[in-house]
Amino acid sequence: MGVIGGGYAGMSAAAELASRGISITVFESAKQLGGRARGVMFNDTQLDNGQHLLLGCYRETLRLIELVGGDIEQDFLRLPLQLDLHGQFSLKAPRLPAPLHLLVALLTAQGLTWSERMKAARFMLTLQRLNFTLPRPLAGEAWPVLSLSKGGEGSSDITVSSLLARYGQDATLTSKLWEPLCIAALNTPIHKASAQVLLNVLRDALNRTRADSDMLLPHIDFTALFPQRAAAYIERNGGKVFTSCGVEAIVPNDNDITLAAADGTHTFSHIICATSPSVAAKLLRPIAALAHSVAQIDGLQHQPIYTVYLQYPPQVRLPHPMLGLHQRFSQWLFDKGQIAGQLGLLAAVISAEGIHQELSQDELAQKVIDELREEFGITATPHWFKVIAEKRATFCCAPNLQRPSQHTALSNLLLAGDYTAGDYPATLEGAVMSGVKCARSISA
Ligand X SMILES: Cc1cc2nc3c(=O)[nH]c(=O)nc-3n(C[C@H](O)[C@H](O)[C@H](O)COP(=O)(O)OP(=O)(O)OC[C@H]3O[C@@H](n4cnc5c(N)ncnc54)[C@H](O)[C@@H]3O)c2cc1C
- Residues contributing to the site for ligand X (CB under 6 A): 4-10, 27-30, 35-37, 50, 52-53, 246-247, 274-276, 279, 305, 307, 390, 393-394, 417-418, 426-429, 431
Task: Using the minimum distance from each CB to ligand X, give the nearer residue, 2 or 382.
Answer: 2
Of the two residues 6 and 39, which places its CB atom closer to ligand X in the complex? 6
> Judged by CB, which is closer to ligand X: 89, or 222?
222
Residue 350, phi-psi category: left (phi > 0), alpha (psi -120 to 50), beta (remainder): beta
Q: State which residue, 33 or 85, has the beta carbon closest to ligand X.
A: 33
Interatomic CA distance for residues 382 and 344, integer angstroms: 9
CA distance 53 to 217: 5
Expressed in angstroms, the distance from the first to the final Cα of the chain is: 14
Question: Smallest distance, Å, CB 419 to ligand X?
Answer: 7
Numbers of helices and strands, H then E, in the chain: 16, 20
Residue partners of 191: CB distance under 8 A and separation at least 6: 159, 160, 161
- The answer to whether 200 and 421 have CB atoms below 8 angstroms apart is no
In the complex, least distance from residue 411 CB atom to ligand X, rounded to whole angstroms: 22
- Is 11 or 369 the residue whose CB approaches ligand X more closely? 11
Helix residue ranges, H only, 89-245: 100-107, 114-129, 160-166, 171-173, 179-186, 195-206, 222-225, 227-236
Q: How many CB atoms lie within 10 A of CB 209?
A: 13
Q: 65, 49 in Cβ contact below 8 A?
A: no
The nearest distance, CB 407 to ligand X, in angstroms, is 17
For ligand X, the closer of residues 84 and 418 by Cβ is 418
CA distance 351 to 304: 6
Query: What distance in Å separates the CA atoms of residue 198 and residue 263, rounded to the nearest whole number?
Result: 43
Nearer to ligand X, 107 or 359 (CB): 359
- Minimum distance, C-beta of residue 103 to ligand X, in the bound complex (Å): 25
Q: Give, in order, the Cα–Cα distances in Å from 407 to each of 7, 37, 75.
A: 19, 25, 34
- The smaller minimum CB distance to ligand X, of residues 134 and 393, is found at 393
The distance of closest approach from Cβ of residue 36 to ligand X in the complex, given in angstroms and rounded to an integer, is: 4
State yes or no: cis peptide before 304, omega within 30 of 0.
no
Q: How far is the CB of 5 from ligand X (least distance, A)?
A: 3
Find the shortest distance in angstroms from Cβ 61 to ligand X: 8
Q: From the CB of 38, what's the least distance to ligand X, in Å?
A: 7
DSSP class of residue 272 equals E
Rounded distance, CA 362 to CA 164, Å? 36
Mapped onto helix, strand or coil, the DSSP state of residue 107 is helix
Residue 195 or 279: the one with the smaller Cβ distance to ligand X is 279
Kindly state the smallest distance separating residue 338's Cβ from ligand X, in Å.
Answer: 17
d(CA 231, CA 245): 15
Identify the H or E element spanning 73.
helix 72-75
